[in-house]
A and B are shown apart, each in its own frame.
Chain A
Amino acid sequence: MTREKGRLLITAGGVAFSVILILVLLGLYFGWQTQMTRFLGNVDTDFWVGQKGSRDMSHTVSIISAETQPQLEKLEGVSKVTPFIGRQVSFDISGKEAHFFLIGMDQDKIIKPYKIVEGRETPKDGEIIIDQTFAKTENLSIGDELTLNNIKMKISSISSGGNLLVYSYAFTNLSDAKKILDSKDFVNYYLVKTNNKEAAKKAIQENFPKTGIMEKQEFLENNTKIITETFLPIIGVLTIIAISIGIAVIGLTIFTATVEKSREFGVLKAMGYKGFELYLIALFQSVFSGFTGFTAGLIITPFVIKAADSFTSAFIYEIDSPKIFLVFIAVLIMSAVASLIPLKRIISIDPAEVFKA
């Protein structure tokens, strides 16, 4: 089969399609997972302290009194307390409803965008930083104005790494965020830096039993659960479908080739080739097709991603060499499984049949 260009092309094409699908799905999954944690991972804190029962920023609302801050600062093991104010805001852009997750930046820049791609690092009063995906979608640029809760804000900067599919992050200074979100008397979370983690945790739990305390990593994981719990099973199913397509394409082509070449397999059997040796031929053909398809898929995937990226800004893709290697292993397994499809046929070929003219 390796010398039958048409057949090889069809098989390699099918495998390439399957590989592209797997690479895109995995890339999207890991891309989204990284994206979800970019901003939160960038926040320099030991603990997120919020209302008891609040676990993440997407599913649950956390409200804590603004008066809690000085009490927290006095606790043993606590070195710094930073209020975190952030909530989704809906507003109007040229008659169309838009929304983002507005966050108030503190003076010490513990809370800040993942990366500023254009404009100032720190917004002044009346200024706002928006994410580049939001800017692209809404056709906004530096200098444009947005009206949020009847307060006019001027876009001062564009940031990256803040697009979370369902919304993107936007940043103002803390006082503007308080005004826009109308939260003078409360905050959503406190970011607590410590000089003694265990002591601080114990003190917070004892003194504020109605608060929930989460380590930075735990809070990060809670926020990525939306991806791992919602998208992972879907991606898993789609990957299984992609692998099945690969197995079916290789398997059916090899099986057809085996049926067509039954006589030649019979000749080899008559000559003294064992069933296992003949199976190795099918395995080699299968692996060769798989490898060719994998290479083709690997070459085509960047073009597919580029095309998809220009089509939708939500196409956040990230894949590294170890994951590509895993896909390669999956293709090898796919090829090995596919080679089993014609196995029964190979074993049942009667070598005496080759004497029939």
Chain B
Amino acid sequence: MKTFLKVENLYKTFNPGAHTEVKAVTDINFELAAGEIVLIMGPSGSGKTTFLTMIGGLLTPSSGKISFDGEEISQYSQKKRTLWRRKNAGFIFQSFNLLSNLSAFENILIGGFGLKRRKERAELLLEKMMLSDRANTQPDNLSGGERQRVAIARALMNDPKIIMADEPTANLDKKIGHEVMNLLCSIGCKEGKGVIIVSHDERIKDIANRVIYIEDGKLIREEIGLHNKVCRMKKH
């Protein structure tokens, strides 16, 4: 598997030098290959989300390097990072973060930038997420699982190389959480995208190729190639 994301000696310190200084991320090294699903685990406030937002180009590291396809994106300007995100990154949030006044279909549609066949692509993703009959429904009238599937479809709209999910199953019950996990697994396994999931949910270990543990901003442990049940099942 080809590595396309490389993180080297990554640091993030909030309010440096002040008495409120917080070292959120300290010296993390990390790699992600196409089709790989990585689960980031750790206690609350350990720096998982900070790490994810830096990889996603939403937060500038204090030091260290983040390279994507050989290019150092951590040195990009704000504008260049915005353009990089719209082309290469898809985000899935804990609280879904769908636009409340838009229908399921429109929420997916807004994820497509400059695509020639935006509508066709959004319809295809709706179908893939088994949401065709909910296309015109607004988020408030969708179930938690449906909302998260809309969010996943939105993240996939621009066919990004990397999907970043922050606690994607936290607001879902066991059954729906399992459905979402299957979907994320399929995105990694079948579509060859790199998937990074930040979660406390132990069940996600079942679909991850790798699990890394972060505590006090430091990567303390990494389990490689342990769990891949769902993926394997799907492959067979």
Which A residues have a C-beta under 8 Å from some C-beta of B? 1, 3-4, 263-264, 267-274, 351-352, 354-357
Contacts and interface: CB of A to CB of B under 8 A. Distances in A.
Contact of A352 (B53, B95, B100): B53
A273 B91 CA distance: 13
A267 B99 contact: yes
Interface of B: 49, 52-53, 56, 58-59, 79, 82-87, 89, 91, 93-95, 97, 99-101, 110-111, 113, 154, 158, 166-167, 170
B58 A272 contact: no
Contact of B86 (A273, A354, A355): A273
Given A271-B86, A272-B113, A4 B101 contact: yes
A4 B100 CA distance: 10
A315 to B, nearest CB: 43
Contact of A274 (B79, B84, B87, B94): B79
Contacts of A273: 82, 86
B91 A271 contact: yes
Contact of A272 (B52, B87, B97, B166): B87
21 contacts: A1-B101, A264-B97, A264-B100, A269-B82, A270-B56, A270-B58, A270-B91, A271-B111, A272-B82, A272-B84, A272-B85, A272-B86, A272-B87, A272-B158, A274-B82, A351-B58, A352-B53, A354-B93, A355-B53, A355-B166, A357-B170
B86 A263 contact: no
Contacts of B83: 272
B101 A352 contact: no
Given A267-B93, A270-B56, A270-B85, A355 B49 contact: yes
Contacts of B99: 264, 267-268
Nearest to B113: A272
Contacts of A267: 91, 93, 97, 99
A268 B110 contact: yes
Contacts of A264: 97, 99-100
Decide if the interface of chain A is mainly helix, strand, loop or mixed.
helix
A6 to B, nearest CB: 12
Nearest to B56: A270
Contacts of A354: 91, 93, 97
Given A271-B91, A352-B58, 8 more contacts: A263-B97, A267-B93, A268-B110, A269-B82, A272-B85, A273-B82, A273-B86, A355-B49
Contacts, number: 55
Contacts of A351: 58
B32 to A, nearest CB: 18
B200 to A, nearest CB: 12
A354 B151 CA distance: 14
A189 to B, nearest CB: 68
B122 to A, nearest CB: 14
Pairs A-B, 6 closest by C-beta atoms: A272-B86, A272-B85, A352-B58, A3-B101, A267-B97, A352-B53
B41 to A, nearest CB: 16
Given A272-B87, A274-B82, A355 B93 contact: yes
A274 B87 CA distance: 13
A4 B87 CA distance: 31
Nearest to A265: B99
Contacts of B97: 263-264, 267, 354
A354 B99 CA distance: 12
A263 B87 CA distance: 21
Nearest to B93: A354
Contacts of B86: 271-273
Contacts of A355: 49, 52-53, 58, 93, 166
A274 B85 CA distance: 11
A350 to B, nearest CB: 8
B196 to A, nearest CB: 13
Between B52, B84, B93, B170, the greatest number of chain A beta carbons within 10 A of the residue's beta carbon is seen for B93
A273 B114 CA distance: 11
Nearest to A267: B97
Nearest to B87: A272
Nearest to A275: B82
A357 B95 contact: yes
Contacts of B59: 352
A353 to B, nearest CB: 9
Nearest to A1: B101
Nearest to B157: A271
A269 B79 CA distance: 11
A149 B126 CA distance: 91
Residue of A351, A354, A355 with most chain B CB atoms under a 10 A cut-off: A355
Contacts of A1: 101
B85 A271 contact: yes
Contacts of B95: 357
Contacts of B110: 268, 271
Contacts of A3: 101
B91 to A, nearest CB: 6
B155 to A, nearest CB: 8
